[in-house]
Structure 1
Amino acid sequence: MTPVQVNEWLDEYNDYMLLYNMFGDQTYLIEVEEILKSMEKYIGRMLMLEKFKHAL
């Protein structure tokens, strides 16, 4: 994962939230949830790597 990928996730999140607010379609919220899950996994991995680095 790269910072570029995180930026893409944030852009997609903003786009889907805008669409949801405009049209109220639950499909957009489902996409938002998937993006948030992906970002949570990514952050969890990054935190584990940081802990590992400090343990060495």
Structure 2
Amino acid sequence: MTPVQVNEWLDEYNDYMLLYKMFGDQTYLNEVEEILKSMEKYIGRMLMLEKLKLAL
């Protein structure tokens, strides 16, 4: 993962949240949830890598 991908996720999150707030369509909120899941997985992997680095 690169910082660029994280920025893209954040941009998409903001876009879908705005659309959800404007139109109230559940589809937009579902997209937000998928983005959050992806970011949580990414953060989990980064934390594991940090723990491995500290253990060495």
Q: What is the TM-score when the length of structure 2 is the normalising length?
A: 0.99
The count of residues paired between Structure 1 and Structure 2 equals: 56
Unaligned runs of 5+ in 2: none
SS in 2 for 1:13: helix
TM-score by length of 1: 0.99
1:8-56 Cα distance to aligned partner (Å, 9 max, x none): 0000000000000000000000000000000000000000000000000
Could you list the structure 1 runs, at least 4 aligned residues long, displaced by more than 6 angstroms after superposition: none
Aligned identity (percent) is 93
Task: Give the aligned CA root-mean-square deviation in angstroms.
Answer: 0.2
